[in-house]
Amino acid sequence: MPAGGTLDRFGVAGGDVVLEVGPGPGYYSIEASRRVGPDGRLICLDLQRDMIEQLRGRLAEADVSAETGVANATRLPLTDDRIDVAYLITVLGEVPDPEAALAEMRRVLKPGGTLGLGETMGDPDYIRLGKLREMCGRAGFVEATCHHDVLGYTITFRSP
């Protein structure tokens, strides 16, 4: 699915404060930056410094901006209740402690904020939908939407 369709499903909109965890080289980041516009903020955090460097180059080339940094998904350098939308696409399965990462997402999301997750079957770290629902439920999230695609799914949860 094109980046715009996925970001539509996650509800990324103008003026939002958005967190992308594990952006890699920025497939979704450029469109997300355009969507939040000058009144919003996009924060991109990745564990791999070389991915952040690639992302910065792609953002500059596209003439869009984001705050970028190297960070672990289980210890985000953000204050509580700061984020409107947080998303991870084919990333959560790579995190050694995904439940700790979900607890961090809940901590940084504003009450009523959206957590968006995407999984693709070809990914070696694919998380089955049932398992993801269980983990997010234990973290206190409430499911909002789920879309099945040919090769995977996107799902959103609300922070209480």
Instruction: Tell me what pLDDT residue 136 has.
Output: 98
Rounded to whole angstroms, the Cα distance separating 140 from 107 reads 11
pLDDT at 60 over 80: yes
pTM (2 d.p.): 0.97
Strand pairing category for 83-89 and 152-158 = unpaired
Q: In what side-by-side order are the strands of the sheet with 41-46?
A: 67-70, 41-46, 17-21, 83-89, 109-120, 152-158, 142-149
Q: How far apart are CA 46 and CA 10, in angstroms?
A: 19
Per residue in 118-138, pLDDT (tens digit) is: 999 999 999 999 999 999 999
pLDDT band at 2 (very low <50, low <70, confident <90, very high): confident
Q: Alpha-carbon Rg of the chain, whole angstroms? A: 14
The mean pLDDT of the chain is: 97
For residue 1, pLDDT over 80 is answered with no
pLDDT of residue 41: 98
The residues near 35 (Cβ < 8 Å, ≥ 6 apart) are 7, 12, 13, 14, 16
Domains in the chain (CATH in brackets) are 3-158 (3.40.50.150)
- Give the percent of the chain with pLDDT over 70: 100
What secondary structure letter does DSSP report for 65? -
